[in-house]
Structure 1
Amino acid sequence: MIFIGYLISIILFAFAAVIIVASWDTLLAAPKLDLKSLLTLVQAALAFIGAITAAILTATVGRSNEYLKARLTQSVNEATTRLNAELAQSVNASTERLRAELTASVNESTQLLQAELTRSGDVFRAELDQLVPRRYEAYHAIWAALTQYFRAVQKFEAGIFDEGTLKAADKACDDASAHTLLVDQIDRDTFHALWQELTRLREIAEEKRDLPDGLRTLWRNEGRMLGQHYQEVRERLANHLLA
């Protein structure tokens, strides 16, 4: 269409040129013609042809601009559509890859955490299985030592100071103190408090054993409170042994 418009414009320009040449030849061949009329005719013809030519060129250029604008718009739309499609494809591919990597990472971390928790739980259960019997042995050891010492001191009621038995009981408490790290702090304090009380009473008895009725008097004055303290410790430690 654009090519035809340009072609028509060229033909009209050529036609105008032919008219000018023909008019000039006619003018030369017939000098008696009215030159003014001839020039007016030629000018009118040229003006008409020029107007038509200008109109055709204007229409052709406008059409050409519209055509170029349409092609440009189409090209831009096609390029935009293609870029959008490529961008969407790239984003989707990246999203899927990241989602897959994240899922794999989470699964791996979860498996590692589960394995670690299982391993920690097994270790904890193994340590607990070892600790419980040792705590039981510790409570049994300190209670047995205190009982041995109390029974040795209790002989004061009969006026008997059995030095060998008392020393053996004191040594048993000393040996049992090594187990107190496995018992609760309050029970550890309870053990040492009663042990010190028994030792104090033994030291007093050692000073009074040669006095007439010295040991029996000591027991009458101290034995009741010592017995109550012993029973309280017995109940406390028994509760831990049965727990």
Structure 2
Amino acid sequence: MPMIFIGYLFTGVLLALGVAIIIASWDTLNALPKLDLKYLSTLVQAAMAFIGAIAVAILTATVGRSNEYLKVRLTQSVNAATAKLNAELTRAVNASTERLRAELTASVNESAQLLQAELTKSGDVFRAELNQLVPRRYEAYHAIWTALTQYFRAVQKFEEGIFDEDILKAADKACEDASGHTLLVDQIDQDTFHNFWQELTRLYEIAKEKRDLPDGLRTLWRNEGRTLGLHYQEVREAFANRLLA
């Protein structure tokens, strides 16, 4: 910057010097009686042109140097502003990222703790309910099996020719009462219970018609007893396997 200032100063001095020379020369030459004004004017123009050319060259160089200096300063200012802006932007982004990461971590940890608490609570509730359900399921299977066994033993007396209607009605009532427990057993076992109950009831109804016939009940048992006994064992094994599973 000082060199540019000196260039401008030197150009101004040259122009001032040229003007001073012209004035001095004009006064001096004008005092000479024999000097032609035409030649004097030419001389002055030549001097002015020479001095002006030097001044223009110096000024041009100075302006060019000044432009380069301004360009460099502008570039430096832009780079400095850009670097500052990038640094501030980086700090802002890093700060926001750290804050979001901390908030996300806290949120995830809180959610994980809540979920773990809920799972623990659910697990405790499930275990408590399971501890209550298992004995009730056992009682349900025991109730329906006891009722079916009671009914089967009453029907089995047909083999001896015995038709005890009170015992048969009581056995049928026991199955009816036990049917309320089927809600706690598997669906397939509910179907097994009702199918065997219906099979026993069918023999009971047939026996009503044959009880007064000679050897009617024994004949009925010979025809149906073996199949009924096999079904009885199948039901027993199915229920036992379900409880032991």
TM class, shorter-chain normalised? over 0.9
CA contact (8 A) 1:12 1:53 kept: yes
Report what 2:23 is aligned to.
21
Q: 1:93 aligns with which of 84, 92, 95?
A: 95
* TM superposition outliers: structure 1 runs of 4+ over 4 Å: none
User: Cα 1:10–1:242, aligned 2, differ >3 Å: closer, same or farther?
Assistant: closer
Q: How does 1:172-183 map to 2 (within 5 A)?
A: 172-183=174-185
Report what 1:187 is aligned to.
189
Residues 174-200 of structure 1: per-residue CA shift (max 9 Å, x gap): 011111111112211111111111111
Report what 1:230 is aligned to.
232
Deviates more, 1:201-210 or 1:65-74: 201-210
Task: Compute the displacement of 1:45 (Å).
Answer: 2.1
Report what 2:213 is aligned to.
211
Task: Compute the displacement of 1:70 (Å).
Answer: 1.0
> Root-mean-square deviation (CA), in Å?
1.5
Task: Compute the displacement of 1:210 (Å).
Answer: 2.0
Percent of residue pairs identical: 82
Report what 2:35 is aligned to.
33
| Letter of the structure 1 residue corresponding to residue 235 of structure 2 | V
Q: Hey, what's the Cα distance between the residues in 1 that align with 2:102 and 2:237? A: 62
Compute the TM-score of the two structures, normalised by the length of structure 2.
0.94
Task: Compute the displacement of 1:37 (Å).
Answer: 4.1
SS in structure 2 at match of 1:232: helix
Compute the TM-score of the two structures, normalised by the length of structure 1.
0.94
Pair 1:48 & 2:50 matched: yes
SS in structure 2 at match of 1:164: helix
CA contact (8 A) 1:140 1:241 kept: no
Deviates more, 1:58-67 or 1:33-42: 33-42
Report what 2:65 is aligned to.
63
Q: What 5-or-longer segments of structure 1 have no aligned partner?
A: none
Residues 34-66 of structure 1: per-residue CA shift (max 9 Å, x gap): 444433432332222111111111111111111
Report what 2:120 is aligned to.
118
CA contact (8 A) 1:5 1:57 kept: yes
Count of equivalent residues:
243
